[in-house]
Amino acid sequence: MMQLVRKIDEIKAAARGAAREGKSVGLVPTMGYLHEGHISLMKKARAENDFLAVSIFVNPTQFGPSEDLDSYPRDLERDLRLCEEAGVNIVFAPESSEMYPEGYSTYVTVEGGVTAGLCGKSRPIHFRGVATVVTKLFNIVRPERAYFGQKDAQQVAVIKKMVRDTNQDVQVIACPIVREADGLALSSRNTYLSPSERQDALTLSSSLFGAVGLISSGEKSAAAVRGYIESRFAGIESASIDYIEIVDPDTMEPLSLISNRALIAIAVKIGKTRLIDNIVAEV
């Protein structure tokens, strides 16, 4: 029987109880409105852990003032059904005031290259919010393993760096991007898209696939690959590019020459909806 709890003390007690019984604890942190990407995380976590916790929390500290915190889609009832089907043991769905009570003032910041570019540039406080809430969730649940989607590639790199830097005892596991049949990367924000915008959004994934093709046919220049992706968006009126970056997958440092492994990461606004996607090219 899956449990739903709202309070930090409740999830702490449940997770500590499981650990005391010798169970391994897994955590899948989410902002809810679950899709197949989340389900894939839960399935892997279910297989690898005795006790599986999922958090559902639209974390206000990772949204900028002009971003979509208020309109971010929510459907707890459906989320709980999906969690139950995935064999989750406990769902932690706190109120904002439970996570950030009045007077809250402690933040975890990962400085340097890993947060400087990509989403860190256009969303300056985003990763501070991510690092802070993930630190809190790790302290609350004390998982042995935590699962994140590779779609947020920079987030994965930031969290891995934070865990290493602060000596947290948790294994951070990144799971592959889950895509629709036509290539669109799953995202809770896809729900914002009109039918024609959804069509336009396909250029994110298809330009990334094209870029990988270009690289495997011998292109080594990051500028050329960027130019190719840019050109793919040239005719799409709804699209405005936030960034197209080719970086080291671990450090997020920009590459000018593509060798070994390169992460191609893009953020594009389609209408009012900011979408991200990425792919790793191996040379």
Q: So which residues are the catalytic ones?
A: 38
**Cβ atoms of 167 and 186 closer than 8 Å:** no
Nearer CB in complex with a second copy: 125/212? 125
Cα dist from 174 to 40, 182, 195, 222, 256, whole Å: 11, 23, 30, 25, 25
Say which residue the tokens 């802070």 belong to: 132
Tell me whether residue 168 is annotated as binding. Answer: no
Q: How far apart are CA 237 and CA 200, in angstroms?
A: 9
Judged by CB under 8 A, does residue 53 bind a second copy? no
Judged by CB under 8 A, does residue 17 bind a second copy? no
Residue from 110, 201, 225, 270 touching a second copy (CB under 8 A): that is: 110
Radius of gyration of the chain (CA): 19
Handedness of CA 22, 143, 52, 180 (dihedral sign): negative
Tell me whether residue 164 is annotated as binding. Answer: no
Closest CA to 115 of 144, 82, 156: 156
Residue from 62, 135, 150, 155 touching a second copy (CB under 8 A): that is: 135
Residue type, 280: V
Say which residue the tokens 């208020």 belong to: 70
What residues contact residue 235 under an 8 Å CB cut-off, 6+ apart? none
Shortest spacing between CB 53 and a second copy, in angstroms = 14
Tell me whether residue 38 is annotated as binding. Answer: yes
Judged by CB under 8 A, does residue 139 bind a second copy? yes
Judged by CB under 8 A, does residue 88 bind a second copy? no
* Residues from 156 through 215 that contact a second copy (CB under 8 A): 161-162, 165-169
Q: How far apart are CA 215 and CA 283, in angstroms?
A: 8
Shortest spacing between CB 138 and a second copy, in angstroms = 9
Binding part of the chain for a second copy, among 64-72, 111-119, 147-155, 254-262 by CB under 8 A, reads 111-119
Shortest spacing between CB 137 and a second copy, in angstroms = 9
* Residues from 238 through 257 that contact a second copy (CB under 8 A): none
Residue from 47, 107, 231, 283 touching a second copy (CB under 8 A): that is: 107
Judged by CB under 8 A, does residue 104 bind a second copy? yes
Closest CA to 146 of 253, 15, 278, 262: 15
- Which helix (H) or strand (E) is 13 found in, with range? helix 8-20
Cα dist from 48 to 20, 101, 151, whole Å: 18, 34, 21
Nearer CB in complex with a second copy: 167/256? 167
**Which residues sit in the known binding site for ATP?**
31-38, 149-152, 178, 186-189
Q: Name the residues that contact a second copy, by CB under 8 A.
A: 8, 12, 103-112, 114, 131-132, 135-136, 139-140, 142, 161-162, 165-169
